[in-house]
Amino acid sequence: MATGFRKNRVFLVGDAAHRFPPSGGYGMNSGIQDAHNLAWKLDFVLKGRAGDRLLDSYDLERRPVAESNADCSYGNTQRFLKTDKAFRGGNIDEINFWIRDTENHVHSVGQSRGFSYDEGALIPDGTAGPRCARASTNLRTGPADAFRTSGSTSRASTRRSTGSTRTSCSSSA
């Protein structure tokens, strides 16, 4: 992850700003979302419809989403490695666990579409924004507690003050 997505007139978007393991399309989706987020802001500033400060919201809004997507992508990579290890070890309980857990990878559309911005380039209108479900991924421990979600938060959702709320790609097994 780049230390910043903007420096003066230079903006980092997509793989220039963040790189993820190739497990789920999160890098591509994040890059497209980055470009979309920045394009309209640049248009507004260049046409004089907004001041340069609008461009500061790009990093504020996109970094937490990119961090969450990186976490999910890394989690998917770990998931695939654990599945492979279970098969190689022949442990039927672990094999069954990690096969069932594949649901978390296959049905993770909320990770790509499940974010909202709590601050940044928005004008509060008094209505409550959507609240995304939050979950934590713990792939270092194994089947017994790999996907406990009760009362936990993802890294990006704990960074709520930096601009975004996220859905995580993991769930209870």
Residues in the chain predicted with pLDDT less than 50, given as ranges, are 133-173
Q: What is the identity of the amino acid at 117?
A: Y
pTM (two decimals): 0.65
Q: What token pair was written down for 27?
A: 């890098």
pLDDT of amino acid 169:
47
pLDDT of amino acid 170:
45
pLDDT of amino acid 75:
82
pLDDT of amino acid 109:
62
Which candidate, 82, 88, 87, 90, places its Cα nearest to that of 143?
82
The number of C-alpha atoms within 13 Å of 171 and in the hemisphere containing its C-beta is 15
Spell out the domain ranges in the chain: 21-165
Q: For 49-94, how does the pLDDT look when each residue is reduced to its tens digit (9 = 90+)?
A: 999 999 999 999 998 888 888 888 888 888 888 889 999 999 899 9
Q: Where does residue 104 rank: exposed (0-12), middle (13-18), buried (19+ CB within 10 A)? A: buried
